[in-house]
Structure 1
Amino acid sequence: MKKDKHTLDKILGECFKLFLQKGYKEVTIPDIENAIGMTRGAVFYYFKDKQELFKAVIDKYIIENQGIPNKINLNDESGLLRFIINYAEGIHRNRESFQPSSNYPGGLLSYLNLFNSALIYYDGFKEKAALILEQEILLWEKVIETAKISQEIRDNVNSTITAKKFQRLFYSESILNGIVTDFNSSELLEICIEEYNLIKL
C-alpha cells in the first residue's frame, strides 16, 4: 500500500512539536498516538520504530532546514554585502519556521535540546551536520574570493579565515541573541555588517 504524503507530513510535523517540547527520551508511543490521532500500528506503517521516526523528523526539520538552499539563493551573485543580508534573512526564515511549533516560550532552547538529542540518538547526525557547515564555509569562501576580484573588499583578506569568522559570527550571535532576548535579525545583521565594513574598500 502506498504511503500518503499528507499523512506522513502530519506525523513528522506533530512529532517535531513533541520532540521539541519533551526531548527524544521522554516522548512515549502513547504521546505520539495522542498527538497525531493515529494508532501505533498506523504510525509504524510509516516508521518501524520511534528511533526511525525521530531520524526522519531530524532530517526534515534540522538537516533540510539548515541546508544552504533554505538560507540563500545559490544563483545570487550580487556581492558579499548582499550575500550577508540574504544569509541573515535566511536565518530569520528558519527561526520563524520552528518557533511557532513550540507551544510555550523558549523555542530556541527547545531546538538546541533537539539538536543535542540528535547527537546522542541519531547515528551519523554529527557527520551530516559537519557536512552542512563545511559546505557553508566553501560557499562563503567563494563569495569572498569573488568580492576580492570585484574589488568590493580588500585583496589581502584571507578568504578561509574570513569565511569562518562570518559563519561563526552568524551562528553564535543568532544563538546568544535568541537565548537572552527574542530573536532580533536586524541586530544580527547590524553586527555582521559592522564586520563587513572592516574589510570593504
Structure 2
Amino acid sequence: MKTTKETILKESFKLFLAKGYDGTSVPDIERAAKITRGAIFHHFANKEDIFKQSADYFVLSFLEEVNYGEEYLNSATPLKAFMGKSLKIIEARMEKFLQKTTEKITPASFMSFTLYLKDHYEGWQEKAIEYEKLKIENWERAINLAKEKNEIRPDTNTTLLASTFHNLYMGLSYGGALVDKLSIPELQRLWDYVYQQQTIK
C-alpha cells in the first residue's frame, strides 16, 4: 500500500516526465495525486523539493547498483555469464519502469528528464559519475576473471573493453529512446560481436 508521500512522488514524476519541470504546477500535482496542497507541503518544502526527491526515488533507483549474483564468478566463461545476467537485469529494469509510470510515458521522456537533471539538480553530475564508475568496475571484474580462466585473450585491454560494453548499452539506450525503446536483442547482438573478438580461438 502506497503512502501519501509515495503517491505524490509517483504522480509528480509522471507529470515531470510528460510536461517537464516548468510545465508542471503544484495544482497539477494536487489533481493528479488527488491530495490537498496542505498534504503536499506537509511532506515537501516546495516544487523543487518534490522534483529532487522524485528524481532520487525513481531515477536513482532505476540506476542503482544491483546484485549480479555469484553464478558468473563460478562459471568457466564468466564474461559470457556476466553479459547474460546484465541483459536480464536491464530488461527487468525496463519493465519495472513501465510499471511505475504509464503507457503515455516513453523512454524518451525518461532520457529527457535525466538530461534536465544535469543542469537543474546540484550534485546530480557527481551521482551520475559515480554510477558510471561502478558499472565500469563491474565489467572490469568480469573481464579480469575471464582472462584468468582463459575465456578471452590475456592481452585484452580490460578498461577499454569494459567501457565498450557499457557505452554500447548507453548509446543504444539513448538511440532507442528516439524511436521507441532500447532493443535487448540488438544490444545482445552487439555485445556478442565484441565478445567474439576477444575470445581465444
Q: TM-score normalized by structure 2?
A: 0.90
The alpha-carbon distance between structure 1 residues 62 and 87, as it changes in their structure 2 partners (threshold 3 A), is same
Is 1:167 the counterpart of 2:166? The answer is: yes
Contact 1:178–1:184 (8 Å) recurs in 2: no
For residues 156 and 114 of structure 1, the distance between their equivalents in structure 2, rounded to whole angstroms, comes to 40
Q: Which runs of 4+ in 1 moved over 3 A?
A: none
**Within-5 A mapping of 1:105-144:** 107-144=106-143
The alpha-carbon distance between structure 1 residues 74 and 122, as it changes in their structure 2 partners (threshold 3 A), is farther
Deviations 1:89-115 (A, max 9, x none): 2222222222351442x6111001111
**Within-5 A mapping of 1:49-128:** 49-69=46-66, 72-76=67-71, 77=73, 78=75, 79-100=78-99, 101-104=101-104, 107-128=106-127
**Residues 76-85 or 126-135, more deviating:** 76-85
Give the C-alpha shift of residue 61 in structure 1: 1.2
Contact 1:174–1:188 (8 Å) recurs in 2: no
Give the C-alpha shift of residue 45 in structure 1: 0.9
- The SS at the match of 1:25 is coil
For residues 135 and 54 of structure 1, the distance between their equivalents in structure 2, rounded to whole angstroms, comes to 25
Give the C-alpha shift of residue 58 in structure 1: 0.7
2:171 maps to a residue whose letter is S
For residues 177 and 187 of structure 2, the distance between their equivalents in structure 1, rounded to whole angstroms, comes to 10
The alpha-carbon distance between structure 1 residues 95 and 137, as it changes in their structure 2 partners (threshold 3 A), is same
- The SS at the match of 2:62 is coil
Deviations 1:16-50 (A, max 9, x none): 11111011121100000001011111011111111
- The SS at the match of 1:152 is coil
Show structure 1 runs of 5+ residues with no match: none
- The corresponding residue for 1:12 is 9
Show structure 2 runs of 5+ residues with no match: none
- The corresponding residue for 2:183 is 184
Give the C-alpha shift of residue 116 in structure 1: 1.6
- The corresponding residue for 2:45 is 48
- The corresponding residue for 2:27 is 30
Q: Once superposed, what is the RMSD of the aligned Cα atoms?
A: 1.8
The alpha-carbon distance between structure 1 residues 113 and 75, as it changes in their structure 2 partners (threshold 3 A), is same
Deviations 1:142-191 (A, max 9, x none): 11101100111110001011111110011112321332344321221121
- The corresponding residue for 1:200 is 199
Contact 1:98–1:107 (8 Å) recurs in 2: no
Contact 2:111–2:177 (8 Å) recurs in 1: no
Give the fraction of aligned pairs with identical amino acids, expressed as a percent. Answer: 30
Contact 2:62–2:97 (8 Å) recurs in 1: no
